[in-house]
Amino acid sequence: MSLHCKNCNHQIKTGFLKGKGEITGNPVAFIHAFTNNRAESYCSNCIDDQLLQAKSNFEKELKSTKDLLEKGFSNLPILSIHQPLHWDYEVVGMVTSQSVIGTGLVSEITASWTDFFGKESNTFNDKIKKGEENCMNQLRTKALLMGAHAIIGTDIDYSEVGSGKGMLMVCMAGTAIKIKNAKEINYDLEGYSKLSQAKERLEVLAKIDVDKETLYHFVS
């Protein structure tokens, strides 16, 4: 007795080892999610090509989603003022972030020399700037997860931690808000909507364990 593959019409004989007959389940769901192929099942003759195409499409979408988030992230406003001019908003909640940076022995020595000659230490400045960027990214991520459009009243603090062990901590805190008069102040709601959708899609993509759950049929 034999049957034919619903995708390529290849003849499938019964009694083959597991994975050599009709293939259903996770691989089919993965193919449906990331290609236009909607066959009910596949066989060992065609499954690998379909999975490779699905994997390629998955990786392209993952990269484009990350790129969209990276480019759009900086457009989420972080302001130090508590009442931006002409803004009408509602408070969503408080957001905080912390970033601890190790200065390192070389940075300490460099800073000592620059201090001796009365100059700025670019090494320390670069590390502090990196800490600030990390904190801002954390604030924006938390605000986006809360459905907020912006962060106002933002405060930033710097301190040394570790009792002389060369560790710097940058802390930020602000108030996440939803803007009620977006058109009046020319706030880009469409751009924000795309950013929010990309965040939600990335959460879905990040949960997919490609190699473990769906591509175990690959020959190599």
Q: What confidence tens digit (pLDDT) does each residue in 136-179 have?
A: 999 999 999 899 999 999 999 988 776 655 678 899 999 999 99
pLDDT at residue 157, rounded to an integer: 93
Q: How far apart are CA 19 and CA 74, in angstroms?
A: 47
pLDDT at residue 106, rounded to an integer: 39
Residue-wise burial string across 95-127, b where 16 or more C-beta atoms lie within 10 A, e elsewhere: bebebebebeeebeebbeeeeeeeeebebbeeb
**pLDDT > 50? residue 12:** yes
**pLDDT > 50? residue 114:** no
Residues 104-108 have a mean pLDDT of 44
In this structure, of 6-15, 82-91, 115-124, 127-136, the range with the lowest mean pLDDT score is: 115-124
Q: How far apart are CA 151 and CA 176, in angstroms?
A: 4
Going from N- to C-terminal start, the domains of the chain cover: 2-72+204-214, 77-187
Q: How far apart are CA 183 and CA 40, in angstroms?
A: 47
Furthest CA-CA distance within the chain:
89
**pLDDT > 90? residue 59:** yes
Averaged pLDDT score across all residues of the chain: 82
CATH code given to domain 77-187: 3.30.110.70
- In the numeric block, which tokens belong to residue 7? 């995708």
